[in-house]
Structure 1
């Protein structure tokens, strides 16, 4: 059940990244945030009801609320035109929680691949905190590109692998995933820097008429 929700988290992350890049309007992105946020609250609630005290099932369900509350928060703020600082500081809380889930994935769940994925999500939420909570506007494009590039390999890809029964995890496989995520963050930095450099050049070059 969690893999179904994860599939659509990849979609909303992709759209939110485009929103940070000024490609998708905030109010337009808000609708998908509300849909996915509601799903990520309903599904874990069903999982908790069906868990019957199973600690592993309860742990799996508990992390999904971090996504659900985030996207509901984003959707409501964007539609209502509210200030984004609350999302930013909530994202700091979620970033810390994601680190805890990463540690649990490495130790209790014995799923190092998802440990790496949780760490990647933690970095993304930390970037949301810096941009929305602390107004580090110079990081906006880097954050947008990071979200766009990591949305599919951290969400959609593992969701499809789990749904098809082909998901595999081991320390070696996790290391490959980690390397791939590092490369994507580097690519996001390069893309955001290139755009900034072009904008600066266009602004400082003399205009001849």
Structure 2
């Protein structure tokens, strides 16, 4: 059941990434965020209630709420036109928690591939914190590309392979995922956009940041 949720996490990350890249209108992504967010709250609740005291099953299910709450937060925020600061700082909490879940997958659950995947998510939610919480708009395109790619690499493909019983839980898989992750972050660096600057007329203090229109802030 968790594999089904993971597969659709790939879908929502893909759509949200396209939104950050300016290819999908923000409010148009709200519905998929609400759908998948609800799924990622219902699924772990069911798994916990049916775990029969299995601590590993409870551990696996607990991490799913991080995604469910994020997507519900995003979906509601987009529909209501809320400031992104709240979801940005919640993303910081998720990023820190993801490091803990990564450690748990490497040690308690003995699942190295998902240990690496949780590190992917720690990086991604850190980018969400910087972009949405601290308003670092120059990260928009970079975060959009990382989100879109991670939708496939960390969720849609692993989720589908788990559904058909073909997901390889091996050290080699973890190494391959690690190499792909580092390469992705480095290759995408040229997409970073530094804040635009302008010289004020008659100014002797040097360049000052160009204000970002409210309409652009709402797209994040």
TM-score by length of 1: 0.90
Find the counterpart in structure 1 of residue 178 from structure 2: 178
Distance 1:60 1:105 in 2: 9
Counterpart in the other structure of 1:143: 143
In the other structure, the counterpart of 1:207 is none
Q: How does 1:124-203 map to 2 (within 5 A)?
A: 124-190=124-190, 192-193=191-192, 196=193
Deviation at 1:171, TM superposition (A): 2.1
Q: Segments of 4+ in structure 1 off by > 4 A?
A: none
**Inter-partner Cα distance in structure 1 for 2:173 and 2:37:** 30
| CA distance, structure 2, for counterparts of residue 155 and residue 40 of structure 1 | 13
1:21-60 deviation per Cα after TM superposition (whole angstroms, max 9, x unaligned): 1111111001100000000000111111111111011011
Report the number of matched residues. Answer: 196
What are the equivalent positions in structure 2 for 1:36-185 lying under 5 Å apart?
Answer: 36-185=36-185
Residue by residue over 1:87-131, the C-alpha shift from the partner in whole angstroms, topping out at 9 and shown as x without a partner, is 000000000000000000000000000000000000000000000
**Which residue does the alignment assign to 2:205?**
none
- Comparing 148-157 and 4-13, the one that deviates more: 148-157
1:147 to partner: Cα distance: 0.5
Q: Distance in 1 between matches of 2:59 and 2:121?
A: 17
Instruction: Tell whether the 8 Å contact from 1:102 to 1:114 is kept in structure 2 after alignment.
Output: yes
Residue in structure 1 matched with residue 35 of structure 2 by the alignment: 35
Question: Which residues of structure 2 form unaligned runs of 5+?
Answer: 198-220
* 1:24 partner SS: coil
Higher helix share: 1
Q: Please list the CA deviations of residues 183-203 of structure 1 after superposition, one character each: whole Å capped at 9, or x if unmatched.
A: 22223323x14xx59x99xxx
